[in-house]
Structure 1
Amino acid sequence: MKMKESPTLQFKRELTDAIKREIIAFANTQGGELYIGVDDDGSIIGLENADKVLESVSSMLHDSIQPDILVHAFLEIVNLEGKNVVKISVARGTRRPYHLKAKGMKPSGVFIRYGTSVTNASEENIRQMIIESDGTNFETMRSLQQELTFTEAKRIFDEQNLKFGPEKMRTLGLITEDGYYTNLGLLFSDQCEHTIKCARYLGNDKIEFQDRKEFSGSILKQVEAVYEYLSINNAKHAHFEGLKRIETETYPSYALREALINAFTHRDYSFSGSILIHLFQDRLELVSVGGLVKGLTLEDIELGISQSRNPKLANVLYRLKWIESYGTGLQRMRESYKGSVMEPYWTVGPNAFVVTLPKYISLTPTDENEALSNWLAQSKEFTARDLENYLKKSKATVRKILEELIQSGQIMRVGSGPKTKYQVLSNYE
């Protein structure tokens, strides 16, 4: 009985380039067997020089297909009806999608089987194969885009006297062990597909624009350019305390920088949306795609517990000295607002994290009572130095305020000497 072609069985009369497509399709689908020297109808033709064909097939698979498919293929010469044919057994690969080396992981180079036919894979097919092979960790997955350049990233690494060659990129996770660029590599490349969008408004709502900008390219270049744009729009103000000139910014530079870097370090890059920055007349909002990392609460991160969604990205930024590894960003953002009527705050949605930076407005004597009330409402325990920094008052003035608060039953003193602290009483809270 003649053999018949099926989804897992294919025949070829002779060795041709089309065999590469068949082998790739088997490895990307459910595996199969291919016989060279057998006609389409199952008739055994045989090969005059099966050894040479076997050698040619081995070279073809090694030189023309990526990743290495030979580990999933078994080549042998078998005798059918007294004639030699080459049998190629292909298992379903573990590093799908397999593709033509010359074409890359594009639909034109990736093939799958539908029944007994071979067809080009769609981008969605390819993306699904990557997920099945690499897992769902965005950073370590192979990028669909493999034609990448790193002009801007290299410039920034050079400025920090850090190496940025292939070996370092492999160590940082931008390149896999078998030479593919990862999604992390895509973020740092000049071809990065994610952007940051900024908009300035005439009022405190989104009705009327002053200007809009979209920043693209390497994510490192984007952050540099966005910070420069925000700095240009971060006006400085001055007032005098006696003969001393005191300068303040509309938004404290530390808070501005920290909010921006947090937005792109911790966003969820599996979403295609852009980071959004809105500059209103009374505040600045940074909207990062992706809510909190699973398992963390807003209270956790306010206490300094840090768990990055993108640890490899965070590691690179730590090496560049753009971030610290202590998880104190939100706390220090608030500290940069000491002496201001308003403080920064954050809002968490299922798929978004919004940081709001209000304009820095220095406390005046008429604001003091309100500021003190806000402080007591927000602070469970504090030191005299904390209150001095917040109110920007002298030790003597703060000592007097503390005694008045104790007498009125709003706080109580705990401890003595340098370790003295003050607790807000629950009946006041």
Structure 2
Amino acid sequence: MTENNRIEYKRELTDRLEKEVIAFLNYHDGGIIYIGIDKYGAVYGVSECDALQLVIMDRLKNNIQPSCLGLFDVIHETREGKDIIKIIVASGTEKPYYLRRFGMSEKGCFIRIGSASEPMTQRMIEELFARRTRNSIARIRSLRQDLTFEQLKIYYQEAGLTLGDKFAANLELLTEDGVYNYAGYLLADQNGNSVQVAKYAGTDRVDLLESKDYGFCCLVKTCKQILDRLEGVENRVINKITPRERISRSLWDKVALREAVINAIIHNDYSTELVPKFEIFADRLEITSAGTVHPGSEQDDFFAGYSMPRNKTLMRVFKDLAMVEYLGSGMPRILKAYPREAYTFSTHFIRTTFPVSPEALALEKDVMKAEAKTSGAQSKGLVTGQVTGQVTGQVTGQVERWMYDVLTACIDPKKSMEIQEIIGIKHRETFQRNYLDLLLEQGLLVRTIPDKPQSRFQRYKTTAQGQTFLKQNRQ
């Protein structure tokens, strides 16, 4: 409970708050300010916590330049039964930050040195300004200027917020010249930005099952579409009911998956004109985004949740819409489920790899065995003696309707997904083992590309035996 280069304690709110925040904005690691704790670590608490939060946010919004919106969070916490305020400040990308009333001068610019916030020298100010990021999406002019934002307005309305006439300026969607910037382009109703989700049959990129682009619309909508696909479709939940309990396992941790998807979309380096990519393999999910995190302390800060937001405008919008909670909270949530080794860093990219849960796979095998035993026994009982070599035997017993429907449909070759829809089985592995394989084993169906069973061009066609079977069992 002592102050250091990243922690500042204040017993109460004072006129020095902006100075401390500016020092952390200009510091390479950012920092945290606690209101209601004195410099010795004793907890005094604050009164009227909600009102105090609003005052702090208003002061930081209006008294600091360049705008630090999206670079700080003001959070209410409780310690020793007392209310305190926690202000999380990220390192900014538009250094030097300064007090509006003093401008970019020694009276207005501060930086964190040890446990103190010190004035910057004129030389430091000039060097920081010279290095100020030139490729920020807030500084890049939009490819188009005929932008509309109806989708964004709807999302804000659903969050209980309203975008006024000056929303483009308030959300920092304009350049210094007053035209739409690249952040505005990404959040507009129509744009050229899309994000790819690819699915492969195996553990490499040889057999592509599906590739779909999501986007060309507001980035918030794109994010929601990808979350719907990964959370609602791909991250299947396996359930097993035992005499004692119901066991449920998902392929990937739900919280970590959501955080990783949103992080990749918010923090992608769009100035490179590259977009995030999501790839689903038989044994893992890979999320790749454009960006760089250097080895050493920068990576340590990244995993601690201290890294600076690459796109503060996007961060601010997603936070307004409650799609992220507070600054730096995503990485700790991910690390609860996956180790640091889930991340790999290259010169221009960051890749997140989530392996498929072995517990989920083991549970799925148990469920499939039970289903196969029941369904297989029923199916074999219904079709015993009907096919041997050439179809010469007669059907004994009632033939299930699904066999007739599938064989009829596959007179014209069909994809496995199309056959699965005909039967109405949602679980892909259950469909493969208990239905499709049965028809193949009986010689009623055949693959159109037999030497490449996993090919994305694979189709299934009713054989001559299958057609004879249909004639003998008209329904």
Normalised by the length of structure 1, the TM-score is: 0.49
Structure of greater Rg: 1
TM-score by length of 2: 0.45
